[in-house]
Chains A and B, each alone.
Chain A
C-alpha cells in the first residue's frame, strides 16, 4: 500500500510541473466558462421574453438547472472526451520511452501497486479540475436560488464520468510507447462508448438493451437531471474497475513475454 502512495505522490507532483496539465485545466475551465456564459445569457433572454409576454406560469417551468447546468455538464463532458486522452497519454507511454519503466518493473513492488498509484494521482488531478468547475453553480447560488442538490448530483456524475475516462486513458497508455497512439486510441474508445447506443434505437430485443446499457451518456444524463441512482454509480465504477484491471494485465504481461 505504501508503494501505491509513493507512486501516487510522485505522479501528482509531476502533473503540476508539466505544461499539459495546465493547458488541459485552462481549456476545460475556459470552455466551461464560455458555455456557462452562453447558456445563462440564453436563459436570461428567455425569461425576459416570457415576462414581456406576460405568461407567468411559463416562468415556473424555467428551471436554472435544466436550462443552464444540465446542458453545461453535457458540453463539459464532450470537452472531457477530447481533453482527457491528452492528460493520460503519457502516464505509461512516457515511462517506456525514457527507460524508467525498467526502474518500476525491477523494483520490489507489485504491478497492481503501480497501476493503483498512477490512477490515484490522475484521479486526484481530475477531481481538482472538476471541483474548480463548481464555480459555475457557485455563481448561480450567489445570484439566484438553484437547487443545490440537483446540481451536486450532476457534478457527481461528471466526476464519475471523468474518472472512467482516466481509467480508459491509462489502459491505452499502457499498451504503447507512443503517446500519440495512446491518446488517439483512448479518444476512439471514448467516442465508441458514447455512440455505442445509436444502432440500439433501430433494432430491438436483447442486443438493443445491452447497447443502451453500455452508453455512457445515458447514465450520465440521469445524474445531470439530479437523480442519483445506484445503478448508474455501479455502471461507472464497473467501467473504472474493468479498465484498471485490463491495465494491470497489460503491465503485468511484460513479465511474461
Chain B
C-alpha cells in the first residue's frame, strides 16, 4: 500500500506540489486525475524515488521511499510517462535486463520474461528491436517491464496516452486483470478510464488534492466529468470533507 503525507515539491521558487496527502490500500486501484501541469508526474516521480520531495513523506508498504530507498524501490513497478526503452535492444533482451536489475533471481528470469510477454501480448514482438516498435507496443513493453518482478505496488503514469481505442481497451483490461493483491496507482486525464477501472479517485489541481473519494461513493447519475470540473473550479482546498461538498454541489446542480 502507498501512503503519501503532506508532500511538497518546489523547484526554486515554483512550487509544483503543495502538501499532497492520500492513501492507496492494498488491492486498490487508485486513479490520479488532474489537468495538465497539476503535478501528477512530479508526484509519481517522488513516489517511485526518482526525485526527492522538498518536504513530506511517502511510505510504500511501511517503508519510507527516502530513508529506506533501496528496500522500498524493490516493491515498486514503475511505468514513467515515456516508456524507458533502450532503442537498440530487442524486446526480450530488454525485459531480461530489467528483470535482473529489479532483483529477479537468475533462475527465474526466463520464466518471468515469458510470463510477462504473454500477459502483455508481446509474443509476436519479442524479437523486435525496441526502437522499431509502434507507440502501442512500446507502451505494452513499458507495462511489461513494470510488471516483470511481480511487484506489490504498480505506479503507471498515463498508461493509455496516445493509444488507439482498441489498444486502450486492451491495456485497461490488462490493468484490471492485474489488481487482486496489488496496489495500483495510475495517473490519467481520461475520465472514463477512472470510472471504469479504479476503486478510488484522487483529483489534483495546481499541486493540491481537491478530491479524494471512493468511486462507489459517487452518487449514481453524476458523471465523473461533472465532479472533476466542479472540483477543479474551487479554489484549491483539501480532501475528505470537500468531497462531500463537491458531490452535493454536483447533485444540487443536477436538480436545478
Contact = CB atoms under 8 A, between A and B. Distances in A.
B97 interface: yes
Contacts of B82: 98-99
B102 interface: yes
B101 A99 contact: no
A255 B84 contact: no
Contacts of A18: 88
Contacts of B93: 10, 13
Interface of A: 2-3, 6-7, 10, 13-14, 17-18, 98-110, 254-257
A99 B74 contact: no
Contact of B84 (A17, A102, A108, A110): A102
B contact face: mostly helix, strand, loop, or mixed: loop
Contacts, number: 72
B101 to A, nearest CB: 5
Contacts of A109: 101
A110 B89 contact: no
19 contacts: A3-B100, A6-B100, A10-B86, A10-B89, A10-B93, A98-B85, A98-B86, A99-B82, A101-B84, A103-B80, A105-B49, A106-B50, A106-B78, A107-B73, A254-B50, A254-B51, A255-B51, A255-B52, A256-B52
Contacts of A108: 70-71, 73-74, 101-103
Given A2-B100, A6-B101, A99 B84 contact: yes
Contacts of A110: 70
B98 interface: yes
In the complex, the 3 A-B pairs of residues with the closest C-beta atoms, listed nearest first: A103-B84, A99-B82, A108-B74
B97 A17 contact: no
B86 A100 contact: yes
A76 B170 CA distance: 56
A106 B146 CA distance: 11
B85 A10 contact: no
Contacts of B45: 102
Contacts of B69: 255
A103 B51 contact: no
Interface string B59-95: 0000000000111011010101111111111000100
